[in-house]
């Protein structure tokens, strides 16, 4: 068992070794499946796809995470040139379109932040795929992350990230987005959406929302929300309704589940381990053991 300070000391060396592996990127894929474990209805299983495209198995959810800070900049540039772009077109044409019949037939629900800076256009493109396939699927869109309509009025001055001063916004500002949480995605699932598309949200939201929807977790159950946050980034995670989870990987696949890969994900971009801030919950990782 390792405590948090030991994680910080050992993770760098562990990840350095991991990065030398030819398949290291498969340890942290961004596309994953949820399927119900046969052992009981109070358990969801997450199978991370990587380059795998087989939808076999008793799947509940497919979740796609497309966005990073630089991605938002690139999508903003694309929308500036072509107003109906600004989302991830490969989500529509590569991830969804070839499998839309299987998704409908098996009742698989899809959640993705592929909407980027134009989730409404992304949803329209998905609806066109559904229409051409002759299917009937409900598509929901989460908006509200785009702050640009408010920039020159209520946000004419903002408190900068360091909290030390108030500065005027730059005149060349092209985009400003808030990181949304899991609750609006959960609401879409509660209302029966088959496919949910969002703009900018925290990475955990696209995974935590299906857990909250399936298990009925409340927004005040902070330990469960914190556990839900840390299921991101591993090949296979079996999550129970009490928030506990088991990490593993499918046989004969790339990637690695080890102390190094788990610890690296735990400390990734968290800054203060006693106060990792998310829209849904503030996490204290200082007492964790691996």
Question: How much is the pLDDT for 125?
Answer: 97
* pLDDT for the residue 18: 31
Check residue 24 and give its pLDDT. 28
Helix, strand, coil fractions of the chain, as percent rounded to 5: 35, 20, 45
CA distance 102 to 57: 11
In this model, does residue 124 exceed pLDDT 80? yes
- Residue-level pLDDT at 50: 46
- Per-residue pLDDT at 25: 32
Chain segment 127-171, per-residue pLDDT in tens: 999 999 999 999 999 999 998 887 766 555 555 555 555 666 667
pLDDT of residue 168: 65
Calculate the alpha carbon distances from 288 to 6, 155, 204, 238, 285 in Å: 11, 38, 18, 19, 5
| pLDDT score recorded for residue 145 | 94
pLDDT higher than 60, residue 89: yes
The 3-state DSSP class for residue 262 equals: helix
Q: For residues 142 and 261, which has the higher predicted lDDT (pLDDT)?
A: 142
Q: What angle, rounded to 10 degrees, do the helices at 222-229 and 205-215 form?
A: 130
Q: How large is the average pLDDT for residues 54-80? A: 83
Mean pLDDT of the chain: 77
Region at 25 (left for phi over 0; alpha for psi -120 to 50; beta for the rest): alpha
User: pLDDT higher for 23 or 176?
Assistant: 176
Strand (E) or helix (H) holding 83: none
pLDDT given for residue 190 in this prediction:
97
Q: What is the pLDDT of residue 198?
A: 97
pLDDT score at 161: 53
| CB-CB contact of 116 with 171 (8 Å) | no
Q: Which of 10-14, 42-46, 88-92 has the lowest mean pLDDT?
A: 10-14
pLDDT at residue 285 is higher than 70: yes
Averaged pLDDT for residues 243-252: 75
Percentage of the chain lying above the pLDDT 90 cut: 41
Q: Is the pLDDT of residue 59 over 70?
A: yes
SS3 117: coil
Pairing of β 236-240 and β 282-283: unpaired
Span 29-35, average pLDDT: 44
Q: Which of 25, 88, 99, 12 is nearest to 55 (CA)?
A: 99
């Amino acid at each position: 068992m390792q405590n948090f300070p030991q994680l910080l000391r050992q993770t760098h060396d562990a990840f350095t070794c991991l990065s030398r592996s030819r398949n290291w990127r498969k340890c942290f894929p961004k596309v994953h499946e949820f399927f119900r474990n046969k052992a009981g209805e109070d358990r969801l299983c997450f199978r991370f796809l990587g380059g795998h495209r087989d939808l076999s198995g008793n799947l509940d959810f497919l979740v796609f995470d497309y966005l990073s800070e630089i991605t938002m900049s690139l999508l903003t540039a694309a929308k500036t040139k072509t107003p109906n772009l600004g989302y991830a077109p490969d989500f529509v044409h590569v991830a969804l379109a070839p499998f839309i019949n299987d998704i409908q037939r098996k009742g698989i629900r899809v959640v993705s932040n592929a909407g980027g800076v134009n989730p409404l256009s992304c949803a329209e493109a998905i609806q066109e795929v559904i229409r051409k396939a002759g299917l009937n699927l409900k598509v929901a869109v989460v908006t509200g992350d785009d702050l640009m309509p408010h920039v020159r009025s209520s946000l004419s001055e903002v408190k900068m990230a360091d909290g030390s001063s108030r500065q005027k916004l730059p005149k060349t500002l092209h985009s400003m987005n808030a990181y949304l949480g899991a609750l609006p995605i959960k609401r879409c699932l509660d209302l029966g959406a088959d496919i949910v598309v969002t703009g900018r949200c925290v990475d955990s939201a696209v995974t935590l929302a299906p857990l909250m929807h399936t298990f009925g977790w409340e927004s005040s159950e902070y330990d469960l929300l914190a556990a839900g946050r840390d299921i991101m980034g591993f090949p296979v995670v079996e999550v129970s309704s009490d928030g506990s989870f088991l990490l593993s990987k499918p046989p004969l696949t790339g990637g690695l589940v080890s102390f190094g890969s788990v610890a690296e994900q735990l400390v990734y971009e968290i800054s203060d381990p006693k106060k990792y801030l998310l829209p849904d919950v503030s996490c204290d990782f200082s007492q964790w053991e691996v």
